[in-house]
Amino acid sequence: MADLENRIAKPWFDPEGFFIAIENKKIIGFCWTKIHRNPVEGVPIGELYVLGVDSDHEARGLGKALSAFALNYFQKKGIKQSILYVDSRQQRAYKIYRHLGFK
């Protein structure tokens, strides 16, 4: 909880870009975004900062849905470029991001 509170206190935190999926009053997934400025062009870049899905709810398309929701959020804000990091060992996540157009 302390780590979460510390990050929420950061100047880049925007609660509008923090998406939580709830089922039966339990958090089953979330997607946290950040918005950066391209240092060369100065344009905003969206980042899928953290994506998490409860292991009991994997393979239901929740990660893909939350990621798409975040990308739509960027689009509504006029952000045309997005980034993320995924460990190559996370094949399920890697597949989701490739399907969403990340290279």
Note whether residue 2 is domain-resident: no
Which burial class, exposed, middle or buried, applies to 63 when counting CB atoms under 10 A from its CB (0-12, 13-18, 19+)?
buried
Q: How far apart are CA 96 and CA 30, in angstroms?
A: 15
pLDDT in 10s for each residue of the chain, 103 residues: 898 899 889 888 899 999 999 999 999 999 999 999 877 888 899 999 988 899 888 888 898 899 999 999 999 999 999 988 888 888 888 888 888 888 7
- Residue 84 tokens read as 């993320």
Note whether residue 60 is domain-resident: yes
Note whether residue 8 is domain-resident: no
Note whether residue 30 is domain-resident: yes
Number of domains within the chain: 1
**Domain range spanning residue 81?**
16-99
Which residues lie across from 29 on neighbouring strands? 21, 53
Task: Write the CB contacts of 38 (distance below 8 Å, at least 6 apart in sequence).
Answer: 44, 45, 81
Note whether residue 7 is domain-resident: no
Note whether residue 23 is domain-resident: yes
| Residue 84: strand, helix, or coil | coil
pTM of the model: 0.83
Note whether residue 10 is domain-resident: no
Note whether residue 65 is domain-resident: yes
Task: Write the CB contacts of 59 (distance below 8 Å, at least 6 apart in sequence).
Answer: 92
Say which CATH number the domain at 37 has: 3.40.630.30
